[in-house]
Amino acid sequence: MLVVPERLIAGLMGPDEAFEAVAEVFRQTAGGAARNFPVVREALGGGRQYGFKSGMGPGALGVKAGGYFPGNAARGITNHQSVVTLFDPETGRPEAMIGGNLLTALRTAAAAAVSIDALARPGARVLGIVGAGHQAAFQLRAAARVRRFERVIAWNRTPERLAGLAAVAEELGLPFEAVPLAGMREAEVIVTITSSPAYALAAAHVSPGTHLACMGTDTIGKQEVEPALLGAARVFTDEPAQSVTLGEAQHAVAQGLLDPARIVPLGAVLTGEAPGREDPDQITLYDGTGVGLQDLAVAARVLALAKARGLAIPVEI
């Protein structure tokens, strides 16, 4: 089999390639050409999460194994740790193993950007970010590709961590301001990317017409926004089955505020089967739970690029 180590990924894939690969997955899933398998996600204690995301699409079969280990940052390593294994869909033979840490950040940010591209008001000028961990900078870079933002505002539970995000905004030429949660009322697009177990962003902090991409809740028990927001919004997701069980919608559904039948697969908007935003004052909310097919798509693209450049390392297993 071939190995593409983590250290090579940055030279092979950036936000543009990730956006294309992830948008294609949304379309394939809506058309029934690809499907995600049920996720396994287990709490290991101490905030550690471990599991498998798997699926099958045209020419792709595989699994991402790994998880979230919140103590890692203090050890100088990324909290998210994973590897993607690709198999030949015809024979089942293991084809390749690809470092999954950077790919996860790129594909998660790309999924949010696809939702912003499809659902945010075209003239949105103020981007709000809730969270300032490892993924937040990727979210900022990916969002900045799809709208002409003029300003970035951000909130984090520990404000000192916002400095890293401010540096990325400066690099992108965007004025940056740290705000209290109530300041998010100025944002026209809000990305939430935290590992919070209880919501910080309330309905009162969000203005009419805002698009929210809620990207942090990928496990039972996590929560980023007040459930009433989902009750009032038009809600979209990557995978309805995950949205109601382990995504942001889990809470609104459990409280009877959101009928699961109202959750629209984002892919159906991209293929024209379902309407997206229906009016300028509507709040749209993308519940990004993270699916295996997104991991497989970016990994397959990286593998093809690594092969073409002679960088994939053959190993015998």
The catalytic site residues sit at 64
Q: From residue 117, give the alpha-carbon distance in Å to each of 113, 128, 212, 220.
A: 6, 15, 12, 28
Binding residue for ligand NAD (CB under 6 A) from 104, 210, 223, 282? 104
Cβ atoms of 18 and 188 within 8 Å: the answer is no
Binding residue for ligand NAD (CB under 6 A) from 102, 168, 189, 200? 200
Quote the distance between the C-alpha of residue 279 and its chain's center. Answer: 25
Smallest separation (angstroms) from ligand NAD to the CB of 10: 16
Smallest separation (angstroms) from ligand NAD to the CB of 99: 15
Binding residue for ligand NAD (CB under 6 A) from 34, 60, 63, 80? 80
Identity of the residue, 129 or 312, whose beta carbon is nearer to ligand NAD in the bound complex: 129
Span interacting with ligand NAD, options 89-97, 129-137, 167-175, 251-259, rule CB under 6 A? 129-137
Place of tokens 């024209």: 272
Three-state secondary structure readout of 13-55: CCHHHHHHHHHHHHHHHHCCCCEECCCEEEEEECCEEEEEEEE
Place of tokens 């404000």: 159
Which of 238, 228, 283 is CA-nearest to residue 263?
238
Identity of the residue, 136 or 297, whose beta carbon is nearer to ligand NAD in the bound complex: 136
Main-chain phi, psi angles of 263, to 5 degrees: -85, 120
What mask of x and - would describe binding to ligand NAD in positions 9 to 48, judged by CB under 6 A? ----------------------------------------
Interaction with ligand NAD in 292-311: which residues (CB under 6 A)? none
Identity of the residue, 135 or 210, whose beta carbon is nearer to ligand NAD in the bound complex: 135
Question: What is the four-CA torsion angle of 303, 306, 309, 311, rounded to 10 degrees?
Answer: -140
- The SS3 assignment for 285 reads strand
Quote the distance between the C-alpha of residue 204 and its chain's center. Answer: 24
Applying CB under 6 A, does 276 fall inside the site for ligand NAD? no
Which of 235, 307, 297 is CA-nearest to residue 104?
297
Identity of the residue, 36 or 104, whose beta carbon is nearer to ligand NAD in the bound complex: 104
Span interacting with ligand NAD, options 115-123, 141-149, 267-275, 286-294, rule CB under 6 A? 286-294
Note the residues at the interface with ligand NAD (CB under 6 A): 68, 70, 79-80, 104, 108, 131-136, 156-158, 193-197, 200, 215-216, 218, 222, 288-290
